[in-house]
Amino acid sequence: MKQVLIVGAGHHFPQGPFTFLHSMQGQERVHAKGLFFRPVDYSALAAATTGASMIPILDLEDNEKEMIAVHKALFSRQCEQYHIPYSLHDNEREWDKNLLQKESRFADLILISGELFYAETDNKQPNQYLREALRSAECPVLIVPENFAAVQRLFMAYDGSRDSLYALKQFCYLFPDLTDLPTEILYINEGTSDSIPDLDSLKQFTRAKFDCMSISRLHFNASDYLTTWISEKKDALLVSGSFGRSPVSYIGNRSFSESIIHEHQLPIFIAHR
């Protein structure tokens, strides 16, 4: 039985991740844990409004706690409807990356909405909070669009690094039932060389894992063009390691992972050591 942590943060319930959870439950036994965070840090807001009336702030805080209660009730109701064993974290406070880190330590997988995670603070995903979640997680994270549809094909991003192989392995361990889908290993090379690092070893390993597998070389700047290329692929899931960097680029130019999350095009599985 896999331990799956669904994380919601802000004003909206993450229906996309729950839909994916339901699809997992059709293939294997899962236990779901709901962890929900309040939208606003009211202690900081109160400190910034010294001398102002605390009544409106306290009313807002009560409303946000009620919202978390509604999300927890919806999570419980859907788990019961689909006969998914579940539990709920008792958290009612604002964002705490240390809490997410601790809970992820005892989970096999995190499911997060790529659109709704603290969208009220910044809907240009991945926003600051989603980046912190990805950075803090101690288990793989699946970023799920709200319009999630059943996965029909897989793309595995590969750059020859140990991080890209780590992500590929983690996906296979977590989703063995999906390895019979058509799978394409994407080696992205911004230069002109056709050489793929450790190609023979890569073929031997992936052919033992996937029933229908191919390897493609893509000669373009991944951060600029991968989202355009992959937007033509329907009902796909992308597996990403770090491409030699953090799983999502936090400084400098937007990484290909960030671009795909921003476009809400397809689920993206991110695993880093």
Q: Same CATH topology for 2-144 and 153-270?
A: yes
What is the rounded CA–CA span in Å between residue 237 and residue 152? 8
Which residue, 102, 126, 143, is CA-closest to 238?
143
Count of C-beta atoms within a 10 Å radius of residue 187: 21
At residue 232's C-alpha, the angle toward residues 252 and 244, to 5°, is: 30
C-beta atoms surrounding 209 within 10 Å: 16
Tens of pLDDT, residue by residue, the chain (273 residues) = 999 999 999 999 999 999 999 999 888 899 999 999 998 655 544 554 455 554 554 455 667 778 899 999 999 999 999 999 999 999 989 999 999 999 999 999 999 998 899 988 887 888 899 999 999 999 999 999 998 888 999 999 888 888 889 999 999 999 999 999 999 998 876 666 678 899 999 999 999 999 999 998 876 665 566 777 777 777 899 998 763 344 444 333 456 667 777 766 789 999 987
Which residue, among 143, 26, 35, 142, has the nearest Cα to 84 in the 3D structure? 26
State pTM to two decimals: 0.85
- The domain limits of the chain are 2-144, 153-270
- Which residues, including other chains, have CB under 8 Å from residue 153's CB and lie 6 or more apart? 181, 182, 183, 184, 233, 235, 236, 237
Q: What are 155's strand-pairing partners?
A: 184, 238
2-144 in CATH: which number? Answer: 3.40.50.620
According to CATH, the superfamily of the domain at 153-270 is HUPs (3.40.50.620)
Q: State whether residue 38 is helix, strand or coil.
A: strand
Count of C-beta atoms within a 10 Å radius of residue 227: 20
